[in-house]
Structure 1
Amino acid sequence: MTTSEPDCLFCKIVAGGVPAEIVREGERVLAFRDINPQAPTHVLVIPREHYPDAASAARAGTGLLDEIAAEAHAIAEAEDIASTGYRLVFNTGSGAGQTVFHLHCHLLGGRGMEWPPG
Protein backbone atom coordinates (compact mmCIF):
# COMPACT_ATOMS: atom_id res chain seq x y z
CA MET A 1 0.00 0.00 0.00
CA THR A 2 1.17 3.53 -0.78
CA THR A 3 -0.39 6.86 -0.08
CA SER A 4 -0.94 7.44 -3.80
CA GLU A 5 0.17 6.22 -7.21
CA PRO A 6 0.97 8.92 -9.78
CA ASP A 7 -0.72 7.11 -12.69
CA CYS A 8 -3.82 5.96 -10.78
CA LEU A 9 -7.07 7.57 -11.96
CA PHE A 10 -8.69 7.33 -8.52
CA CYS A 11 -5.61 8.78 -6.79
CA LYS A 12 -5.93 11.71 -9.20
CA ILE A 13 -9.61 12.12 -8.25
CA VAL A 14 -8.68 12.09 -4.55
CA ALA A 15 -6.04 14.77 -5.21
CA GLY A 16 -8.51 16.92 -7.15
CA GLY A 17 -6.63 16.58 -10.44
CA VAL A 18 -9.49 14.78 -12.20
CA PRO A 19 -13.06 16.03 -11.75
CA ALA A 20 -15.75 13.80 -10.26
CA GLU A 21 -19.26 14.30 -8.92
CA ILE A 22 -18.50 13.91 -5.22
CA VAL A 23 -21.33 12.44 -3.17
CA ARG A 24 -19.67 12.13 0.25
CA GLU A 25 -16.27 12.78 1.80
CA GLY A 26 -14.75 11.37 4.94
CA GLU A 27 -11.33 11.41 6.51
CA ARG A 28 -10.32 8.10 4.92
CA VAL A 29 -12.84 7.65 2.10
CA LEU A 30 -14.33 9.52 -0.84
CA ALA A 31 -17.50 8.68 -2.78
CA PHE A 32 -18.44 9.84 -6.26
CA ARG A 33 -20.88 8.93 -9.01
CA ASP A 34 -19.74 6.39 -11.60
CA ILE A 35 -19.31 7.94 -15.06
CA ASN A 36 -20.88 4.83 -16.63
CA PRO A 37 -23.76 4.03 -14.25
CA GLN A 38 -25.20 0.52 -14.27
CA ALA A 39 -28.17 1.43 -12.05
CA PRO A 40 -30.09 4.61 -11.18
CA THR A 41 -27.79 4.92 -8.17
CA HIS A 42 -24.20 3.93 -8.94
CA VAL A 43 -21.65 5.42 -6.59
CA LEU A 44 -18.01 4.40 -6.10
CA VAL A 45 -16.66 4.49 -2.55
CA ILE A 46 -12.86 4.55 -2.45
CA PRO A 47 -10.16 4.97 0.17
CA ARG A 48 -8.08 8.13 -0.03
CA GLU A 49 -4.97 5.97 0.30
CA HIS A 50 -4.01 3.68 -2.54
CA TYR A 51 -4.74 -0.02 -2.08
CA PRO A 52 -4.80 -2.00 -5.33
CA ASP A 53 -7.77 -4.17 -4.30
CA ALA A 54 -9.98 -5.38 -1.45
CA ALA A 55 -7.59 -8.19 -0.52
CA SER A 56 -4.70 -5.80 0.10
CA ALA A 57 -6.89 -3.58 2.27
CA ALA A 58 -8.11 -6.59 4.25
CA ARG A 59 -4.53 -7.75 4.85
CA ALA A 60 -3.64 -4.31 6.21
CA GLY A 61 -6.18 -4.85 9.00
CA THR A 62 -7.07 -1.18 9.47
CA GLY A 63 -10.87 -1.56 9.38
CA LEU A 64 -11.00 0.24 6.04
CA LEU A 65 -13.42 -2.24 4.44
CA ASP A 66 -15.79 -1.76 7.39
CA GLU A 67 -15.60 1.99 6.92
CA ILE A 68 -16.28 1.71 3.19
CA ALA A 69 -19.36 -0.46 3.87
CA ALA A 70 -20.62 2.01 6.50
CA GLU A 71 -20.14 4.95 4.12
CA ALA A 72 -21.94 3.05 1.37
CA HIS A 73 -24.89 2.44 3.69
CA ALA A 74 -25.01 6.13 4.65
CA ILE A 75 -25.10 7.02 0.95
CA ALA A 76 -27.84 4.43 0.34
CA GLU A 77 -29.90 6.10 3.06
CA ALA A 78 -29.28 9.57 1.60
CA GLU A 79 -30.20 8.30 -1.89
CA ASP A 80 -33.39 6.72 -0.44
CA ILE A 81 -32.50 3.19 -1.56
CA ALA A 82 -31.57 1.65 1.80
CA SER A 83 -35.09 0.43 2.52
CA THR A 84 -35.62 -1.19 -0.89
CA GLY A 85 -32.18 -2.78 -1.08
CA TYR A 86 -28.85 -2.16 -2.71
CA ARG A 87 -25.78 -4.08 -3.80
CA LEU A 88 -22.12 -3.57 -2.85
CA VAL A 89 -19.56 -4.96 -5.29
CA PHE A 90 -15.78 -5.21 -4.90
CA ASN A 91 -14.15 -6.48 -8.10
CA THR A 92 -10.73 -7.93 -7.27
CA GLY A 93 -8.49 -8.71 -10.23
CA SER A 94 -8.91 -8.30 -13.96
CA GLY A 95 -10.71 -11.66 -14.25
CA ALA A 96 -13.44 -10.27 -12.00
CA GLY A 97 -13.79 -7.10 -14.05
CA GLN A 98 -11.52 -4.75 -12.09
CA THR A 99 -10.24 -2.10 -14.51
CA VAL A 100 -8.96 0.54 -12.08
CA PHE A 101 -6.52 -1.02 -9.65
CA HIS A 102 -7.39 1.20 -6.70
CA LEU A 103 -9.78 -0.39 -4.21
CA HIS A 104 -13.33 0.69 -4.90
CA CYS A 105 -16.77 -0.42 -3.86
CA HIS A 106 -19.65 -0.09 -6.30
CA LEU A 107 -22.88 0.92 -4.56
CA LEU A 108 -25.75 -0.02 -6.91
CA GLY A 109 -29.45 0.48 -6.32
CA GLY A 110 -32.65 2.03 -7.49
CA ARG A 111 -33.66 -0.98 -9.59
CA GLY A 112 -34.11 -4.70 -9.09
CA MET A 113 -30.89 -6.67 -8.93
CA GLU A 114 -30.80 -10.07 -10.62
CA TRP A 115 -28.92 -13.16 -9.47
CA PRO A 116 -26.47 -14.40 -10.59
CA PRO A 117 -25.00 -10.95 -11.18
CA GLY A 118 -23.00 -11.70 -14.29
Structure 2
Amino acid sequence: MADCLFCAIVAGTVPAFKVIDVPSGVGFLDIRPVFKGHVLVVPRQHVVTLPELPSSDLAEYFGLVQRVTAAVPPALGAQGTFVAINNVVSQSVAHLHTHVVPRTKGDGLRGFFWPRTKYASDEEAADYAAKIASELG
Protein backbone atom coordinates (compact mmCIF):
# COMPACT_ATOMS: atom_id res chain seq x y z
CA MET A 1 0.00 0.00 0.00
CA ALA A 2 1.53 3.26 -1.17
CA ASP A 3 0.74 5.41 1.86
CA CYS A 4 1.60 2.84 4.56
CA LEU A 5 4.80 3.57 6.50
CA PHE A 6 5.37 -0.08 7.36
CA CYS A 7 4.86 -1.18 3.74
CA ALA A 8 7.51 1.38 2.77
CA ILE A 9 9.88 -0.03 5.40
CA VAL A 10 9.24 -3.56 4.10
CA ALA A 11 9.91 -2.33 0.53
CA GLY A 12 13.08 -0.58 1.62
CA THR A 13 11.96 2.88 0.47
CA VAL A 14 11.90 4.20 4.04
CA PRO A 15 14.93 3.48 6.21
CA ALA A 16 14.58 1.52 9.44
CA PHE A 17 16.87 -0.25 11.88
CA LYS A 18 16.02 -3.74 10.65
CA VAL A 19 16.87 -6.73 12.80
CA ILE A 20 15.49 -9.34 10.38
CA ASP A 21 14.16 -9.34 6.83
CA VAL A 22 12.80 -12.70 5.65
CA PRO A 23 9.98 -13.87 3.38
CA SER A 24 7.48 -14.07 6.26
CA GLY A 25 8.08 -10.50 7.43
CA VAL A 26 10.38 -7.83 8.73
CA GLY A 27 11.49 -6.88 12.23
CA PHE A 28 12.79 -3.41 13.00
CA LEU A 29 13.33 -1.16 15.99
CA ASP A 30 10.39 0.97 17.15
CA ILE A 31 11.38 4.64 16.85
CA ARG A 32 9.59 5.36 20.14
CA PRO A 33 10.53 2.31 22.19
CA VAL A 34 9.08 1.38 25.55
CA PHE A 35 12.64 0.19 26.30
CA LYS A 36 15.65 0.25 24.00
CA GLY A 37 15.60 -2.81 21.76
CA HIS A 38 11.78 -2.73 21.35
CA VAL A 39 11.17 -4.47 18.01
CA LEU A 40 8.15 -4.30 15.72
CA VAL A 41 7.52 -7.41 13.63
CA VAL A 42 5.34 -6.92 10.55
CA PRO A 43 4.09 -9.22 7.80
CA ARG A 44 5.22 -8.29 4.28
CA GLN A 45 1.67 -8.06 2.99
CA HIS A 46 -0.47 -5.12 3.99
CA VAL A 47 -3.11 -6.18 6.47
CA VAL A 48 -4.36 -3.86 9.17
CA THR A 49 -5.37 -6.24 11.95
CA LEU A 50 -4.62 -9.80 13.04
CA PRO A 51 -8.04 -11.12 11.92
CA GLU A 52 -7.19 -9.97 8.36
CA LEU A 53 -3.98 -12.03 8.19
CA PRO A 54 -4.75 -15.15 6.12
CA SER A 55 -4.74 -18.25 8.30
CA SER A 56 -2.26 -19.80 5.86
CA ASP A 57 0.27 -17.12 6.92
CA LEU A 58 -0.18 -17.43 10.69
CA ALA A 59 2.42 -20.12 11.34
CA GLU A 60 5.16 -18.35 9.41
CA TYR A 61 4.33 -14.93 10.85
CA PHE A 62 4.18 -16.12 14.45
CA GLY A 63 7.28 -18.24 13.81
CA LEU A 64 9.05 -14.99 12.99
CA VAL A 65 7.63 -13.31 16.10
CA GLN A 66 8.82 -16.32 18.12
CA ARG A 67 12.34 -16.05 16.66
CA VAL A 68 12.57 -12.36 17.53
CA THR A 69 11.13 -13.01 21.01
CA ALA A 70 13.78 -15.69 21.60
CA ALA A 71 16.62 -13.47 20.33
CA VAL A 72 15.89 -10.27 22.27
CA PRO A 73 16.76 -11.41 25.83
CA PRO A 74 20.20 -12.90 25.10
CA ALA A 75 21.02 -10.11 22.65
CA LEU A 76 20.25 -7.37 25.16
CA GLY A 77 20.86 -9.00 28.51
CA ALA A 78 17.13 -8.88 29.27
CA GLN A 79 15.36 -11.48 31.38
CA GLY A 80 12.33 -11.78 29.11
CA THR A 81 9.98 -9.94 26.78
CA PHE A 82 6.53 -8.42 26.60
CA VAL A 83 4.75 -9.34 23.35
CA ALA A 84 1.64 -7.46 22.24
CA ILE A 85 -0.59 -6.62 19.28
CA ASN A 86 -3.05 -3.75 19.11
CA ASN A 87 -5.97 -4.07 16.70
CA VAL A 88 -7.32 -0.64 15.68
CA VAL A 89 -7.34 0.99 19.15
CA SER A 90 -3.84 2.28 20.02
CA GLN A 91 -2.58 1.07 16.63
CA SER A 92 -0.53 4.09 15.53
CA VAL A 93 0.22 2.61 12.09
CA ALA A 94 -2.61 0.80 10.31
CA HIS A 95 -0.52 -2.27 9.42
CA LEU A 96 -0.45 -5.38 11.58
CA HIS A 97 2.56 -5.29 13.88
CA THR A 98 3.65 -7.23 16.91
CA HIS A 99 5.61 -5.48 19.66
CA VAL A 100 8.49 -7.41 21.20
CA VAL A 101 9.69 -5.40 24.19
CA PRO A 102 12.71 -6.44 26.26
CA ARG A 103 11.91 -6.83 29.97
CA THR A 104 14.00 -7.05 33.11
CA LYS A 105 12.65 -7.50 36.61
CA GLY A 106 12.33 -4.09 38.22
CA ASP A 107 12.27 -2.21 34.90
CA GLY A 108 9.30 -0.16 36.11
CA LEU A 109 6.71 -1.35 33.60
CA ARG A 110 3.59 -2.19 35.62
CA GLY A 111 0.19 -2.59 34.10
CA PHE A 112 0.78 0.64 32.24
CA PHE A 113 -0.77 -0.80 29.13
CA TRP A 114 -3.93 -2.08 30.78
CA PRO A 115 -5.64 -0.65 33.82
CA ARG A 116 -7.16 -3.56 35.73
CA THR A 117 -10.76 -3.98 36.75
CA LYS A 118 -12.89 -6.69 38.37
CA TYR A 119 -16.09 -8.44 37.46
CA ALA A 120 -18.97 -7.54 39.76
CA SER A 121 -19.76 -11.24 40.22
CA ASP A 122 -19.11 -14.71 38.86
CA GLU A 123 -22.38 -14.35 36.94
CA GLU A 124 -21.11 -11.24 35.17
CA ALA A 125 -17.86 -13.04 34.27
CA ALA A 126 -19.84 -16.04 32.99
CA ASP A 127 -21.97 -13.71 30.84
CA TYR A 128 -18.87 -12.17 29.22
CA ALA A 129 -17.38 -15.63 28.65
CA ALA A 130 -20.63 -16.85 27.08
CA LYS A 131 -20.82 -13.87 24.71
CA ILE A 132 -17.28 -14.48 23.44
CA ALA A 133 -17.81 -18.27 23.23
CA SER A 134 -20.99 -17.69 21.24
CA GLU A 135 -19.15 -15.46 18.77
CA LEU A 136 -16.47 -18.14 18.37
CA GLY A 137 -19.21 -20.63 17.50
Give the TM interval when normalised to the shorter protein.
Answer: 0.7 to 0.9
Match of 2:68 among 54, 72, 88: 72
CA distance in 1, matches of 2:23, 2:69: 17
Q: Which sections of structure 2, spanning at least 5 residues, go unmatched? A: 115-137
TM-score, normalisation: structure 2: 0.69
Aligned counterpart, 2:135? none
- Higher fraction of helix: 2
* Structure 1 residue 99 corresponds to structure 2 residue 92: yes
TM-score, normalisation: structure 1: 0.79
Matched AA of 1:107: V
* Aligned-pair Cα RMSD in Å: 1.8
Identity of aligned residues (%): 31
Task: Give the paired residue count.
Answer: 108
Q: RCO higher in 1 or 2 (8 Å CA, sep ≥ 6)?
A: 1
Matched AA of 2:92: T
Aligned counterpart, 1:10? 6
* Structure 1 residue 61 corresponds to structure 2 residue 58: no
TM superposition shift of 1:50: 1.0
TM superposition shift of 1:115: 2.6
CA distance in 1, matches of 2:87, 2:48: 9
